[in-house]
């Protein structure tokens, strides 16, 4: 664990881009839409609980529609991975605008019992080889973490408001209208 640095370097194995489900915040979706010009429906999907077991039933970002739950995720294909992965180049097509969750992977924040920042370590059992042949600064990771926390608070409030709405044929895609205007 490191307060200022963590030993890690990405070797573009693309494990994270092919095997993990990315749950962007609405702000991530807005950033991607602005950067690419793509409508969110082109790069998002809404997963039901049986399609994703990594998210707890108590997670506050589950969208409720007509008695069912869904969670917003970047589209991915089981063979090709994330919608934005250039498999040939082993690179993210939107690297500069990728979701904060992607920016933070495979790092894990460590806090004291009082919730104070202690440092970062690497997630275990991620499938990533976790190469430790370079050093990553923790300051930008912590800034990204704090930004993500703000976005998560906004996200949860949007979901709360969406879940209170009751109307016939409510679909999870309707959630997008709360924060993105599509042309």
Considering the domain boundaries, does residue 183 fall inside one? no
Q: Which residue has the higher pLDDT, 158 or 182?
A: 158
The three-state secondary structure class of 121 is strand
Q: Which domain holds residue 131?
A: 5-177
Whole-number Å distance between alpha carbons of 89 and 160:
40
Considering the domain boundaries, does residue 53 fall inside one? yes
Task: State pLDDT tens for residues 83-140.
Answer: 999 988 889 999 999 999 999 999 999 989 998 888 999 988 778 888 888 898 999 9
Instruction: Provide the whole-model pTM.
Output: 0.90
Query: DSSP letter at 59?
Result: -
Q: What do you get for the CA distance between the two ends of the chain, in Å?
A: 46
Considering the domain boundaries, does residue 182 fall inside one? no
Considering the domain boundaries, does residue 100 fall inside one? yes
Tokens of residue 37, six digits: 């010009």
Give CA 25 to chain center in angstroms.
7
What share of the chain has pLDDT > 70, as a percent? Answer: 98
Considering the domain boundaries, does residue 59 fall inside one? yes
Considering the domain boundaries, does residue 19 fall inside one? yes
- Quick one: which of 150, 146, 93 has its CA closest to 115? 146
Q: Quick one: CA dihedral 145, 81, 92, 10, positive or negative?
A: positive
pLDDT reported for residue 182 = 67
Are the C-beta atoms of 157 and 25 separated by less than 8 Å? Answer: no
Structural domains counted in the chain: 1
Considering the domain boundaries, does residue 139 fall inside one? yes
Whole-number Å distance between alpha carbons of 165 and 168:
10
Strands 91-92 and 44-47: unpaired
């Amino acid at each position: 664990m490191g307060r200022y640095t963590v030993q890690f370097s990405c070797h573009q194995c693309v494990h994270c881009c092919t095997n993990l489900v990315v749950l962007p915040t609405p702000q991530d979706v807005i950033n991607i839409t602005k950067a690419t010009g793509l409508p969110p429906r082109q790069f998002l999907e809404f997963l039901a609980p049986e399609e994703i077991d990594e998210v707890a039933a108590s997670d506050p970002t589950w969208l409720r529609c007509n008695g069912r739950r869904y969670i917003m995720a970047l589209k991915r294909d089981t063979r090709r991975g994330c919608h934005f992965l250039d498999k040939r180049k082993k690179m993210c097509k939107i690297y500069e605008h990728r979701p904060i969750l992607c920016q933070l992977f495979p790092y894990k924040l460590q806090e004291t019992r009082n919730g104070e920042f202690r440092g970062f370590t690497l997630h275990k059992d991620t499938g990533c080889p976790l190469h430790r042949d370079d050093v990553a600064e923790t300051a930008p990771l912590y800034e990204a973490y704090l930004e993500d926390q703000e976005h998560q608070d906004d996200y949860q409030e949007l979901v709360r408001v969406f879940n209170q709405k009751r109307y016939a044929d409510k679909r999870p895609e309707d959630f997008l209208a709360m924060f993105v205007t599509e042309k």
